[in-house]
DNA sequence: CAACTATATTGCGAAATCGCAGAGTTTTCA
DNA sequence: TGAAAACTCTGCGATTTCGCAATATAGTTG
């Protein structure tokens, strides 16, 4: 099973590959060369592979071993990271992490989560990048993205710890019976909420439009009309109530993701996990 | 020293941290709980740290241990990469790597190096992105960058395996004694070569201008005038010879770098190292 | 308060590992 | 061509480590 996985064997494999011979590797590792030989043989036996071509003038890596060596070097580099942490020169949770999200989430959800995270990792500088522009997750100009989406594109790693729920809202008090709707423009028109608007609300009922839920909320509060909002936005505004006759059950998965290549950089992983954990805790409020 | 560094100890540390107790970790690891206890104690002794707060209701990680755990998780993830390679499901040298460079280097230097690399790692798709726009290395829209620069900004990892040399060139045969120079425009005017032009060539001697060495080379070959070119460009063009009276010794370090966060992703590392190795082999040709 | 669960610690026999020395083989150099 | 220098491999004794079991302590829960 997994129990025979000995991380230490990788050290020996790497040493032999870099030193070019078992003897040199043994000297470099400070152990007897017989030990190196046995551990290499054990590793090869356990995994059923042949790593090296043993010649009398040294040990050469066979070509198909190269990917394994590269993966092992990644382990070595990560171990160096651990050693830096142990030596105190580096903290592994220090540096800048850019988080990108929509204006709505960034204004109503993230600040509290980031604040909570920074108490645990005060040396991580979180840089919020607000971009409503692209709805797809794949183009990243940040290390972590928080976005509503239908799925997780490959090449990214993350989770959808909550769903973002929507509801129709209108100003408190009497709204004229013939009051119209505030439409969703820009990239919001291609979102799930925009799709619902296109399906349910005739175009001639739309009396205004905004490409931002935050602005649309203000417009509704000013009495312009009804509006479809994320529940976190609408519920937080005392001037709005849910439209009684409009029971909607729209919701979208809210994804937290980062590049697969950088997903396990400690500080990036820490931010991502903290956001996932925080969103899961806010699950009910987000779903509405 | 480094000899007692046992990568396996990290497995035990991680298991205890995740399982929440020594017993659970021992069960998960398939070993006796005394072994876990001894290895944790040994790790703490060797490194002079206290990882866990031992309470009677479990083992809690002390707050200052969190960075170490995150670094250890990065090791775990890298080991998973090794296991994927061993299982044959993944090759660790597969995927896309974007390489960005200037038009000159991309045309005269990189193709051969990339071709040689792809024979060793045929599953790595190298995507060349030609951008003369930014001379500084720090803004990356690619995984690997190859650029002349004065130094390596922090946050990047790489090396300068060669220097890019420049020389003055003129068309073969008679050039009118009063022939002018082809100037360097655009971003090239702020490069080292552009600086030399500004210092050595009076503005009134400049009869034409280009923001690309490749185009400037063609202009010189067409008889328009002298031009300062990278030696790899000028020497490759049979229609040009070095200007005899213009002995220049301009050169700039040629850096190959990638984001520190992604520097040890196997396929990215492989591309970077291959380029560094290839440029070092071409050192003389590049220096001129 | 008692039962349960958790950790810390230690002694001892078994098992795995290591270091040492020596054998066998190929390359290199004089 | 022959000796020296590498290297890979393999027994054997010594050392280390591990598993097991037992003991003591403390917090949690019914």
**So what's the pLDDT on residue B134?**
63
Q: Which residue is nearest to nucleotide C21 (CA to C1')?
A: A34
The per-residue pLDDT for B118 is 94
Class of B95-156+257-287 per CATH? alpha beta
Q: Which residue is nearest to nucleotide C7 (CA to C1')?
A: B56
Residue spans of the domains in chain B: they are: 7-87, 95-156+257-287, 164-251
| Interatomic CA–C1' length for residue A44 and nucleotide C9, angstroms | 38
pLDDT at B136: 56
Report pLDDT digits (tens) over A154-181: 889 999 999 999 999 999 887 777 789 9
Question: A261 to chain B: which residues are within 8 Å by CB?
Answer: 143, 261-262, 265, 268
Bridge partners of residue B182, in order along the sequence = B208, B227
Residue that is written with structure tokens 């006759």 in the block: A245
Q: What is the pLDDT of residue A131?
A: 83
Contact status, residue B36 vs residue B46, Cβ threshold 8 Å: no
pLDDT (tens digit, 9 = 90+) per residue, A195-206?
999 998 999 999
Please count the CA atoms within 13 angstroms of the CA of A175 that sit on its side-chain side.
22
Q: Where are the beta strands (DSSP E) in chain A?
A: 52-55, 58-61, 95-101, 124-130, 144-148, 156-171, 181-184, 206-210, 226-230, 240-242, 251-259
Q: pTM for the whole thing?
A: 0.90
Instruction: Kindly tell me the burial class for residue B44, based on how many C-beta atoms sit within 10 Å of its own C-beta (0-12, 13-18, 19 or more).
Output: middle
Q: Which residues of A touch B274 (CB under 8 A)?
A: none
- Which backbone phi and psi does A90 adopt, to 5 degrees? -140, 155
CA of A267 to C1' of D25 (A): 39
**Whole-angstrom Cα Rg for chain A:** 27
Give residue-wise pLDDT tens across range A117-151: 999 999 999 999 888 766 555 666 789 999 999 99
Write down the mean pLDDT value for chain B: 90
Of the partner residues A8, A78, A85, the one whose CB lies closest to the CB of residue B78: A78
Inter-chain residue contact A92 with B67, CB threshold 8 Å: yes
Instruction: Choose between B58 and A28: higher pLDDT.
Output: A28
| Predicted local confidence at residue A62, as pLDDT | 86
CA distance A82 to chain B (A): 5
Instruction: Give phi and psi for B125, each to the nearest 5.
Output: -95, 115
Q: In angstroms, how far is CA A219 from the centroid of its own chain?
A: 32
In sequence order, what are the residues at sequence separation of 6 or more whose Cβ sits closer than 8 angstroms to the Cβ of residue A287?
Answer: A162, A163, A164, A165, A231, A251
Q: Which of A198, A135, A167 is nearest to A287 (CA)?
A: A167
Percent of chain B at pLDDT exceeding 90: 68
Which residue of B30, B121, B264 is in closest CB contact with A77?
A: B264
Q: In the structure, how far is the CA atom of residue A40 from the C1' atom of nucleotide C27, in angstroms?
A: 23
CATH number, span A95-159+254-287: 3.40.190.10
CB of A193 within 8 A of CB of A250?
Answer: yes
Task: Output the 3-class SS for B226-268.
Answer: EEEEEHHHHHHCCCEEECCCCCCCCEEEEEEEEEHHHCCCHHH
- Which class does domain B164-251 fall in? alpha beta
Helix (H) or strand (E) run with residue B145 in it: strand B144-148
Of A11-20, A55-64, A165-174, B194-203, the least confident? A55-64
* Tens digits of residue pLDDT in B47-77: 888 898 888 778 888 888 899 999 999 999 9
* Cα-Cα-Cα-Cα dihedral sign, residues B180, B182, B188, B189: positive
Q: Give strand pairing partners of A54.
A: A59
Rounded distance between C-alpha atoms, residue A263 and residue A270, angstroms: 10
CATH 1.10.10.10 fits A7-87, yes or no: yes
Query: Fold identical between B95-156+257-287 and B164-251?
Result: yes
First to last CA, chain A: 45
Q: For residue B126, count other CB atoms closer than 10 A to its CB.
A: 21
Q: What does the pLDDT read at residue B85?
A: 93
CB A145, CB A101: distance < 8 Å? yes
Q: Give the percent of chain A with pLDDT over 90.
A: 70
Calculate ∠ Cα A245-A246-A249, nearest 5°.
140
Nearest nucleotide over every DNA/RNA strand to the A19 CA, judged by C1': D7
Q: Report the distance separating Cα B73 and Cα A56, nearest Å.
A: 40
CA distance linking residue B160 with residue A249, whole number of Å: 58
pLDDT band at A15 (very low <50, low <70, confident <90, very high): very high
Do A283 and A178 meet the contact criterion of CB atoms below 8 Å apart?
A: no
Q: Which two tokens stand for residue B129?
A: 């992105």
Q: Which two tokens stand for residue B195?
A: 């600086």
Pairwise CA distance, residues B279 & B162, whole Å: 6
Nearest to A147 by CA among A194, A210, A105: A105
Tokens encoding B151: 């130094």
């Amino acid at each position: 099973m997994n129990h025979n996985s000995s991380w230490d064997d990788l050290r020996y494999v790497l040493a032999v590959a870099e030193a070019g011979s078992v003897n040199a590797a043994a000297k470099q590792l400070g152990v007897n060369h017989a030990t190196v030989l046995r551990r290499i043989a054990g590793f090869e036996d356990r995994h059923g592979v042949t790593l090296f071509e043993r010649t009398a003038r040294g040990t050469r890596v066979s070509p198909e071993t190269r990917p394994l060596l590269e993966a092992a070097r990644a382990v070595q580099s990560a171990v160096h990271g651990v050693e830096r942490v142990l030596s105190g020169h580096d903290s592994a949770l220090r540096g800048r992490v850019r988080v990108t999200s929509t204006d709505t989430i960034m204004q109503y959800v993230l600040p509290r989560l980031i604040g909570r995270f920074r108490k645990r990792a005060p040396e991580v500088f979180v840089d919020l990048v607000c971009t409503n522009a692209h709805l797809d997750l794949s183009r990243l100009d940040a290390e972590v993205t928080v976005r509503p989406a239908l799925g997780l594109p490959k090449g990214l790693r993350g989770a959808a710890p909550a769903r973002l729920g929507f509801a129709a809202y209108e100003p408190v008090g009497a709204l004229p019976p013939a009051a119209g709707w505030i439409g969703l423009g820009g990239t919001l028109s291609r979102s799930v909420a925009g799709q619902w608007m296109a399906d349910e609300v005739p175009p001639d009922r739309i009396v205004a439009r905004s490409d931002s839920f935050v602005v649309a909320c203000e417009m509704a509060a000013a009495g312009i009309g009804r509006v479809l909002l994320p529940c976190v936005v609408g519920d937080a505004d005392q001037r709005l109530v849910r439209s009684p006759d409009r029971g909607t059950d729209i919701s979208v998965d809210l994804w937290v993701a980062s590049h697969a290549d950088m997903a396990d950089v400690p500080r990036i992983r820490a931010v991502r996990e903290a956001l996932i954990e925080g969103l899961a805790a806010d699950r009910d409020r987000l779903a509405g």
